[in-house]
Amino acid sequence: MAITIRPATAEDVPQILLFVQALATYEREPDAVTATEADLLRDGFGPNPFYFCLIADTNGHPAGFALYFFNYSTWLGRPGLYLEDLFVLPEYRGLGIGKALLQRVAAIAVERGCQRLQWEVLDWNTPAIDFYQAMGAEFMDTWRNVRMTGEALAKLAGVETHGAPPYPRPFAERVGDHAAGASNPFMAPKLDGPQ
């Protein structure tokens, strides 16, 4: 069985969304996905992508994916790579596809000069935990994941939402405004309080 790992293209967006939905179902949160094909297309395949994606094909059929983006370590003074999603469809598990995806992501991290490859795994997902331990992953049990979303994020940002989503325009459009000559509030924020 031939396994091919390739960069995703814009034409893969419907399949990427199917993978994301399947992963959410596997992780016991089938209704948590609100992303749309338009979101994935805009944020992954524009001039300044927020994420990158690899597709694993087996005999011409999409079998799994890895979605990642870059971050930065101030302690190391070097970039890192964050693996957001790694998923193989159940019927293709046990064929080495997950390992092949993870190896390719690791190779990309090394090629780009990254000093870290990081990801999260649910504490009940023992097959994944065992898989990652076998690959040599270190578990950072003393660190706690922190997340802020929705109203709490808007409140911290000083944005009044009145029940509406706190993000009136996609970030990419605001970046595009900056490219056209407008000031970019994300690159040079005013420090005199919320606007």
User: Which range marks the domain in which residue 176 is found?
Assistant: 147-189
Specify if 72 maps to a domain: yes
Q: Give the predicted TM-score (pTM) of the model.
A: 0.81
Domains identified in the chain, total number: 2
In a domain, 106, yes or no: yes
Q: Are both 120 and 160 inside the same structural domain?
A: no
- 132 carries an active-site annotation: yes
Shared-domain flag, residues 55 and 131: yes
Whether residue 76 is contained in a domain is answered as yes
The reply to whether 154 and 79 lie within a common domain is no
Q: What are phi and psi of 20, to 5 degrees?
A: -60, -45
Q: Are residues 74 and 120 in the same domain?
A: yes
| 123 and 88 within one domain | yes
Catalytic residue (choose from 26, 82, 132, 167): 132
Same domain, 61 and 27: yes
Q: Over its length of 195 residues, how does the chain's per-residue pLDDT go in tens digits? A: 799 999 999 999 999 999 999 999 999 999 999 999 999 999 999 999 999 999 999 999 999 999 999 999 999 999 999 999 999 999 999 999 999 999 999 999 999 999 999 999 999 999 999 999 999 999 999 999 999 999 999 999 999 877 666 555 555 454 444 444 444 433 333 334 443
Kindly state whether residues 92 and 166 are assigned to the same domain.
no
